[in-house]
Each structure stands twice: as structure tokens, then as C-alpha cells.
Amino acid sequence: MRKRDQPHDRYFRYMMEDVDVAKSFCGAYANPKVKAKIVWETFELYDTSLVGPNNKQLYADVVYRALTITGEESFIVLNHSTDVPFSAAGRCLCRGS
């Protein structure tokens, strides 16, 4: 079994691919300023393969796309990890001004 295909990884992906579950998770853990900028009606699953710096192929567990209140695209990447401190959970959701 590959490292990223453990039962708990599959369970995380399964749960977070449910739009209502993911919205609830983001609603509970995202920075209020970030939450206020997202148009939640546009929240939808997106392709999990991403292109990083230097055109390096990256993969995420679950990616959502949503529009902001100014009409810009935003991407919410949800990755399950067991090797980081709990305080790092949702770190991308907590950034924003």
C-alpha cells in the first residue's frame, strides 16, 4: 500500500469530497476574514493535480474552487497529514487579510 493510500487517507478524501462536509469544516476552522470573502454558493470540487513553482507537478487530497466577493477565483486545498503538529491544521484557511 502506498503511503498516501492508507485507510485513514482514503477516509479523509471521501469525507472532504462531500461539499457539505467540506463547507462545514471550512466554516469551523477558517479565519473569519477569509470566510467572509468567499461566495460559498460557488464552492465546488476542482482537479487535485496542481502545478507548482518551476512547473513541478503537485497533488492534493482535495481541492475546491470558489469565487470571492470581488469575483476572483480562489482555491482551497485540503490535505490530510499525520506528520505535522495539530496547530498546522487548516493553516492555509487561516491566512488572509
Span 6-19, pLDDT tens digits: 787 888 888 999 99
Neighbours of 18 (CB within 10 A): 13
Domain boundaries, the chain: 3-84
The whole-model pTM stands at 0.72
Span 22-64, pLDDT tens digits: 999 988 888 889 899 999 999 999 887 766 667 777 777 888 9
